[in-house]
């Protein structure tokens, strides 16, 4: 393998994670590309241009190139409207490849089902293997909807089924996701490999002085939420749990800080002020602090400064924020859903909560706040747990999957030729 085409149609790896459609997948794509580049592989990342001011090509270090593809209006196009732009996006990807000698790319790696549709076409046109990463799946999301959230449409379910059938290999973030691909989508077990995402251990590390840099008191109890503000991520569960805590122990109010770092996304865009309104209704205006999305280095400060990081999502294919928090030595309180039990070791690096009852969440939050010995134990376990995940390991395993995909494609060709 010397050159890979990555497709990330609906969101650019250059976008700021934490708002709009940008999140853990954006971090995944750019970090994986950088690590592959260090192994001597050129990576072209195709993504849809969302502004006329974006350059057509952006070099992201040696060997990594982001290509902004013009497909549809630059602004005001929701993710639900993107399927109508698949044809023009695919045409422009084909055109970019046609400017090179045949065999320019050795493999296609698509991210999210929309990209997989384009990747399947590129696979057939270029005669190279297709590796696909789902990141999230409609059938899984629809089975665990938050109250008031919008189900994923049938068109997405069908599109995902088509991508699963077309891909030479599928990458799952966790063993649970691999099982879901096989059981819910009929994926062949031999074509599914588990590759955990990583964490940048140079950025997310214990950071002395983080509280001072953020203007937080050293004696404060800091309960952090970081991520996109949408029902799926359930930041409201944290706010309701904090309200329960304060009702039971009003003295906590004097040194409690609840930073909410992120911006509206998905169905949360329909009511961008709803979380602030909830904080007001619950009487939490004095303890909740809303912070716009921040760069990775500043997010690392917020994680390191926190007493704990809450991840109350209704579903997470992996839970990158949980790994990043643990890498700074901060315990995580997470919902026991999706990939989070893989990321967070219950009682060792954090606490897992069954369900989303605010009272249950308040109990777990209180345990860490009130027990310094437990907090110290979990902090040490968090550092240990985070070192099980690295982008270098992710890149090495992904390269293995690319080779498997090439083998599978040749095998299928041999069968078809008989």
188 is in an annotated binding site: no
79 is in an annotated binding site: yes
127 is in an annotated binding site: no
Closest CA to 196 of 225, 221, 174, 169: 174
136 is in an annotated binding site: yes
Phi, psi (5° rounding) for residue 343? -80, -40
Q: Rounded to the nearest 5 degrees, what angle is found at the Cα of 76, between the Cα atoms of 75 and 77?
A: 95
304 is in an annotated binding site: no
146 is in an annotated binding site: no
21 is in an annotated binding site: yes
Count of beta carbons in the 10 Å neighbourhood of residue 251: 8
24 is in an annotated binding site: yes
CA distance 29 to 8: 8
306 is in an annotated binding site: yes
354 is in an annotated binding site: no
10 is in an annotated binding site: yes
**Residue 76 in contact with residue 85, Cβ under 8 Å?**
no
Phi, psi (5° rounding) for residue 24? -60, -30
Count of beta carbons in the 10 Å neighbourhood of residue 397: 15
Q: Which two tokens stand for residue 311?
A: 């991840």
Query: 212: number of CA atoms within 13 Å, CB side?
Result: 3
26 is in an annotated binding site: yes
233 is in an annotated binding site: yes
Query: 3-7 and 107-111 as β-strands: parallel, antiparallel, unpaired?
Result: parallel
23 is in an annotated binding site: yes
Annotated binding residues for 1D-myo-inositol 3-phosphate: 10, 21-26, 79, 112, 136, 156
Annotated binding residues: 10, 16-17, 21-26, 79, 112, 136, 156, 228, 233, 294, 306, 316, 324, 330
Annotated binding residues for UDP-N-acetyl-alpha-D-glucosamine: 16-17, 24, 228, 233, 294, 316, 324
Annotated binding residues for Mg(2+): 306, 330
């Amino acid at each position: 393998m010397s050159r890979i085409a990555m497709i990330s149609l609906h969101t650019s790896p250059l976008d700021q994670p934490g708002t709009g459609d940008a999140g853990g997948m954006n971090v995944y794509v750019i970090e994986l590309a950088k690590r592959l580049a260090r192994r001597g592989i050129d990576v072209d990342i195709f993504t849809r241009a969302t502004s006329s001011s974006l350059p057509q090509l952006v070099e992201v270090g040696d060997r990594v190139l982001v290509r902004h593809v013009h497909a549809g209006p630059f602004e005001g196009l929701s993710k639900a409207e993107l399927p109508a732009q698949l044809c023009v996006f695919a045409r422009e990807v084909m055109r970019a490849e046609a400017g090179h000698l045949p065999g320019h790319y050795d493999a296609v790696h698509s991210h999210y089902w929309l990209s997989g549709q384009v990747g399947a076409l590129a696979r057939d046109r270029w005669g190279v293997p297709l590796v696909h990463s789902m990141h999230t799946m409609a059938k899984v999301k629809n089975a665990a909807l938050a109250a008031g959230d919008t189900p994923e449409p049938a068109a997405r379910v069908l599109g995902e089924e088509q991508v699963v059938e077309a891909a030479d290999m599928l990458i799952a973030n966790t063993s649970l996701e691999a099982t879901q691909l096989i059981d819910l989508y009929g994926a062949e077990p031999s074509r599914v490999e588990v590759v955990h995402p990583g964490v940048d251990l140079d950025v997310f590390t214990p950071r002395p002085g983080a509280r001072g840099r953020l203007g937080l008191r050293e004696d404060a109890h800091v309960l952090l939420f970081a991520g996109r503000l949408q029902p799926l991520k359930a930041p409201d569960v944290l706010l309701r749990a904090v309200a329960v805590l304060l009702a039971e122990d009003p003295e906590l109010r004097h040194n409690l800080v609840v930073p909410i770092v992120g911006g509206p996304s998905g169905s949360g865009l329909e009511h961008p002020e709803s979380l602030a309104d909830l904080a007001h209704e619950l009487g939490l205006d004095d303890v909740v602090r809303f912070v716009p999305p921040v760069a990775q280095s500043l997010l690392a400060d917020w994680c390191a400064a926190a007493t704990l990081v809450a991840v109350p999502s209704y579903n997470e294919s992996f839970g990158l924020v949980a790994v990043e928090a643990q890498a700074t030595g901060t315990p995580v309180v997470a919902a026991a859903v999706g990939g989070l039990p893989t990321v967070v070791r219950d009682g060792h690096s954090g606490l897992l909560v069954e369900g989303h009852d605010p009272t249950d969440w308040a109990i777990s939050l209180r345990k860490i706040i009130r027990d310094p010995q437990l907090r110290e134990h979990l902090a040490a376990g968090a550092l240990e747990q985070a070192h099980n995940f690295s982008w270098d390991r992710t890149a090495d395993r992904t390269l293995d999957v690319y080779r498997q995909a090439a083998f599978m494609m040749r095998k299928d060709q041999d069968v078809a030729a008989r």
